[in-house]
């Protein structure tokens, strides 16, 4: 009896996580736009919001699983133009965020801790992407590291806006959605 109940709970959790992945893919398909005209390839999208919500609901490892699955699905469908590079950068950015934010929020699920978790996750994202762009972008884009450094003010600002904006929206939505995810 307990084994059947445990299997059912796991199936329901997997279905909810699948819904979050699907919502994320739909969001990136419907909403994406450049923030800075000088670097139009850096496009804001709200696709990480369902992943952040899933991280708060299912923990850091659940958030990491959502990140990897979403990055692969997006990177092979709606964002296929970015290819392996896009998948890798998405996993680094969002993955670093969800690990830090998820670990912090898991300790104490309060509003104050949520703010701290989202802020720490955003800061981690910004730092991780600074170094990821320095190391990975020259290789995939075939440009000298100096070119990436020239764009770094835009890259840092873009990552701050995207991580911060998606964190704010997550903060405003999570408690309203969490009852459904924990049901």
Domain-located, residue 109: yes
pLDDT for 56: 98
pLDDT for 6: 86
Domain-located, residue 147: yes
Identify the residue whose tokens are 């981690």.
Answer: 124
Domain-located, residue 99: yes
How far apart, in whole angstroms, are the C-alpha atoms of residue 5 and residue 9?
6
Confirm whether pTM is higher than 0.85.
yes
Comparing CA positions, the residue from 96, 94, 106, 100 lying closest to residue 118 is: 100
Helix axes 111-141 and 145-182, enclosed angle (nearest 10):
140
- The conformation of residue 37, written as its DSSP 8-state character, comes to T
CATH number at residue 51: 1.10.1760.20
Low-confidence ranges of the chain (pLDDT < 70): 1-2
Domain-located, residue 41: no
Side-chain half-sphere exposure of 165, counting CA atoms within 13 A: 11
pLDDT for 23: 98
pLDDT for 93: 98
Q: Taking the mean position of all CA atoms in its chain, how far away is CA 8?
A: 27
Q: Taking the mean position of all CA atoms in its chain, how far away is CA 53?
A: 10
Task: Give the count of beta carbons closer than 10 Å to the beta carbon of residue 167.
Answer: 24
Range of the domain at 11: 2-33+46-182
Domain-located, residue 39: no
Coil, helix or strand for 166?
helix
pLDDT for 107: 96
How far apart, in whole angstroms, are the C-alpha atoms of residue 52 and residue 58?
10
Domain-located, residue 38: no
Tally of domains within the chain? 1
């Amino acid at each position: 009896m307990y084994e059947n109940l445990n299997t059912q709970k796991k199936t329901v959790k997997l279905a909810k996580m699948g819904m979050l992945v699907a919502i994320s893919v739909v969001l990136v398909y419907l909403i994406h736009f450049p923030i800075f005209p000088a670097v139009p390839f850096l496009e804001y999208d709200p696709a990480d919001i369902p992943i952040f919500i899933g991280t708060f609901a299912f923990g850091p490892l659940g958030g990491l699983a959502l990140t990897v699955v979403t990055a692969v699905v997006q990177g092979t469908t709606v964002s296929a133009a970015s290819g392996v590079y896009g998948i890798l950068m998405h996993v680094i950015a969002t993955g670093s965020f969800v690990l830090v934010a998820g670990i912090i929020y898991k300790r104490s699920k309060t509003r104050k801790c949520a703010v701290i978790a989202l802020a720490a996750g955003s800061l981690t994202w910004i730092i991780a992407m600074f170094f990821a762009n320095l190391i990975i972008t020259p290789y995939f884009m075939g440009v000298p590291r100096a070119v990436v450094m020239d764009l770094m003010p835009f890259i840092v600002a873009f990552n701050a806006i995207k991580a911060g904006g998606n964190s704010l929206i997550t903060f405003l939505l999570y408690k309203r959605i969490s009852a459904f995810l924990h049901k």
